[in-house]
Chain A
């Protein structure tokens, strides 16, 4: 089965702009989580969506938002970009049935803010 698909793979944005990242989970997975990965910080949890509802949120400012659609695809948005937002943004999907098997991750979107 197809894996987790994230688009775009790379983005370069200017400070102050906004960006939208997309994630298509594995077919049948209704849970999508987003993480920010930076060197030395590991993966920082952004938010988790399940059946179009945000179930958990990490400690990120309100500039970071997300949503999930009825087909389980998810988007995250970052407004008023700052240099510190440069990172690899990872999407991970899972299902209730496979909960004990952890996440399946996408390849990520590498965002560079200049």
Chain B
């Protein structure tokens, strides 16, 4: 069975600090990987995705993530966070052969101090 582990439940940073949110998954087959973001009062939206090809993927708002297959990891990064990045971030995994079923991590709440 697939599972997703996010290393930090809560992260507090000051503006301009660098961000790295850890995500590890367990699944032996080929996967699609996603990061979703939920801003306060808004619905979940896709931040970035890895499907195939270059393991370093870039998403919206300056976010990027690196897929390291040997470590089953898909960590999210941003060089310099802004107050508007305050949100909850979810890592998610979809097994290519398993329909659309996508397993989500428990989420990381990021608070950026202005």
A interface list, Cβ under 8 A from B:
31, 33, 35, 40-43, 45, 48, 50, 55-56, 90, 92, 94, 99-108
Interface residues on B, range: 20 to 34
**B43 near A106 (CB under 8 angstroms)?**
yes
B interface, CB within 8 angstroms of A: 9, 32, 34, 36, 43-46, 49, 51, 90, 92, 94, 98-107
Contact of B46 among A33, A55, A99, A103 (CB under 8 A): A103
- A94 near B100 with CB under 8 A, answer yes
Closest 3 pairs between A and B when the two form their complex, measured CB to CB: A42-B106, A100-B51, A56-B101
The minimal Cβ–Cβ distance linking B36 to chain A, given in whole angstroms, is 7
**Bound Cα distance A56, B100 (Å):** 8
A-B contact pairs, 18 of them (CB 8 A): A33-B100, A42-B90, A42-B104, A42-B105, A42-B107, A43-B90, A43-B107, A45-B102, A50-B100, A56-B98, A90-B44, A100-B49, A100-B51, A102-B32, A102-B46, A102-B49, A103-B46, A104-B46
